[in-house]
A and B are shown apart, each in its own frame.
Chain A
């Protein structure tokens, strides 16, 4: 049984796990009928716009609202003093700090929120913003985090200057936030002291921005009669936002409804709770009408959700034949003016200690020092788990640097250091247990696909002619799917996730989840899981997320956690329904449960294949009196899933670049990406995610950086300056895969959307640096725009004919 043409046809009709089913959510998007937050229009709605600081560091001497209030259409102007009666001038951050909702007596970064003008439409609001008079007294600013802890450094945060800690251990300077370390320092230092070879490099992950095409915004609507607050929001974490709003406002959580709706991309930018949201909520409570606040692109890049700004130092110790014996990584982390860095409570530097990568490294130590500067606050994970891009970037650059020092081929040094298949589950020196992996075959498949030996021969020929060609390899291991509640919580709430399934009498299904799609295709992927588990067609399975009044509680979508956590909850929830369905089928067929076997979409009596009950028949029966005695009607279930471990997707990427040494132009000739995300639920969606992640990696490596001058002024915060690749620059992507299921996930799936970003960035870097390796270059900081690469050529004396 199971393989006949008839059963295969029935299976195909389900369009379940493993099929490249077209997306169920597309219909509204291709017609322009989606509902993003700026599409929402409520009766009586007013619009908020923010007055922002022109200075990076200044005292506020006075704010005069009078002229603004006289502008036609302006209804109110809110400043910090107006928020104090409701205790919302400041808000707690997930990093254990507090953040000014509206600047209270001073501003600490350029474009900081100083006031919100509420008006009848966006034009009147803009007029009002221009008419608010703020008198500033400029102060010296700190832009370079290396200068934050100088003895005579200006104090950025007098409000906490005498606090001995802000959430994560002792502080040694008023501009110090925390120092976090992991691993065995003494043992690692001893290994370095006696190592045959050591390498050291300073490596920067510059300040960048995720820049989803839709900026952040909200519509807050407080109903004075019922005391209920509804917030339509650009968010990746609707349930956590509801909890935080309850904590901040004192409104009962049951009276707060957060609705995610359609969200135009997130990439980490839509995880935090921003001052604009909070002021809009207060303004709605004060005015009693809905308030819309939508940030502009310049506000988005300047103030909400920067990423990285990790100033790293990598060190490896090794034997002469390239076996790594010790790893020592540190980073100076620039968190800006407030520590609103997104991280789990016990992980102030996120998952940075995944930095041993795919390699069997016996001794390791890492440390992160976080400091305040006069820049926008926070630190989000831009298409990655918390601080994973930074960690993977360091190890994947450092292993190349070690290979160069030892004269070992960059593929070969990886072979020598990989965790071997038989070592899984493998516990790293930092204590992470890598669930599964099979690194050697993935590398060999990739090298064969690109004809690696041939590429190296071609490179040697080109070098002989004075031409620059680089081959980058990256063999990354990611850590995603946060996470076990024992390890990961935010504000005390564990990062479990959930699924609730209701099966209707006619066999169609409604499922609701605690995650939040921002383009990942959840409505399709989750439906496919349920289709295969329950034998019902995915076409008739509706998925809903983001409305906290409807969906069960969950920690949202970030850190590639949807499939690893909610996908697991979905499978387990369906299996609870299956258990009940089996009992009903046995009752209907008048046999024991053990006499039944499952085949695609129906129960069959073993040895009597004509005795059959399809799942659809069971769905109907479950709503009748013809069910086992004592059983409740219906086929509904809910599952809350606390994963036993994170999941560890991996991959091998190869990039080939040609560089014009006279202009510095880097041309990506080829990019091959082999990903192993365990069980593949929808290959079409997976490939789409990989294309997108690689493109965002390309953007970071080749052009993205938020630049400042010495006074903390932004030098590029519009799309004129900030690099988002177009169809012309973006390379063509070749995708490939291996499948190594996760042993602890009910479906074996691991999560995929962030791997291409995390693995892609070091692959581009390794390719660009490799082009100069024969000239003694071991590292160049991103981004590799033509000017910077040309400067490298000029420094080497090869930029002129």
Chain B
């Protein structure tokens, strides 16, 4: 099958790949761009383990074609840590014991990052509602909610 050239920005850096039109973004990220933070949990858009941030929106990368991403500005969990240190959400997931097996964690944190951009001080109900596209089998969500709340406080104080 013929390949197409696609270029976009990934975690602040310009990247270019040559892919078949049918290739899904999650496979391009994981297998061509060594970005294995986003995971595959269902391939049907239900679990959210593959969540990445594209042009200011949370997107499940298992249901986006790479060729749709020309010129996109993309962020994955790998792009959250800055030279100044971990993102407040990464720190909070650790301090609030919001992860166990860790498989959902990159998607959860990436989703929470966008949630807090859109709603900087969400209620618990809002957190639960806006995080419902990301499934976790280990934590029961209680500590994930606490982590998001804790990150909100830290970010407000910063």
Contacts and interface: CB of A to CB of B under 8 A. Distances in A.
Interface of A: 22-23, 25-34, 36, 38-39, 41, 121-123, 211-215, 262-265, 267, 294, 296-297, 518-521, 684-685, 687-689, 691-692, 694-696, 718-720, 724, 726-728, 730, 732-733
Given A26-B94, A214-B41, A727 B31 contact: no
A298 to B, nearest CB: 8
A276 to B, nearest CB: 16
Which 3 A-B pairs have CB atoms at the shortest separation, nearest pair first? A32-B37, A519-B101, A264-B103
A384 B85 CA distance: 40
Contacts of A728: 128-129, 132
A30 B136 contact: no
Interface string B124-156: 000111011111111111111100000000000
Contact of A31 (B40, B81, B128, B135): B81
B37 A720 contact: no
B76 interface: yes
Contacts of A691: 139-143
Nearest to A696: B137
Contact of B103 (A22, A26, A214): A214
Nearest to A214: B103
Contacts of A34: 102
Contacts of A41: 31
Max chain B C-beta neighbours (<10 A), residue from A39, A214, A267, A296: A214
A521 B36 CA distance: 22
B118 interface: no
Given A519-B101, A520-B100, 11 more contacts: A30-B99, A31-B37, A38-B36, A212-B101, A213-B101, A214-B41, A264-B103, A518-B101, A687-B97, A730-B140, A732-B142
A32 to B, nearest CB: 2
A726 B101 contact: no
29 contacts: A22-B95, A22-B97, A26-B93, A27-B94, A29-B106, A30-B77, A30-B90, A30-B99, A30-B102, A31-B77, A31-B90, A32-B36, A38-B40, A121-B31, A213-B47, A213-B136, A214-B39, A264-B41, A264-B101, A265-B103, A265-B138, A267-B137, A296-B43, A689-B100, A694-B140, A719-B46, A719-B47, A727-B141, A733-B142
A262 B137 contact: no
A519 B99 CA distance: 8
A65 B135 CA distance: 39
B86 interface: yes
B73 interface: no
Contacts of A121: 31
A213 B76 contact: no
A479 B145 CA distance: 32
A730 B141 contact: yes
A29 B142 contact: no
B25 interface: no
B10 interface: no
Contact of A720 (B23, B46, B86, B142): B46
B44 A719 contact: yes
B103 A36 contact: yes
Interface in B76-97: 76-78, 81, 86, 90-91, 93-95, 97
B105 interface: yes
A776 B73 CA distance: 61
B97 A688 contact: yes
Contacts of B101: 212-214, 262-265, 518-519
A578 to B, nearest CB: 30
Given A29-B105, A264-B103, A728-B128, A213 B137 contact: yes
Contact of A32 (B106, B134, B142): B106
B110 to A, nearest CB: 9
Nearest to A521: B100
A692 B103 contact: no
A692 B139 contact: yes
Contact of A265 (B35, B95, B137): B137
Interface in B4-63: 20, 22-23, 27, 30-31, 35-44, 46-47, 49
Contacts of B37: 31-33
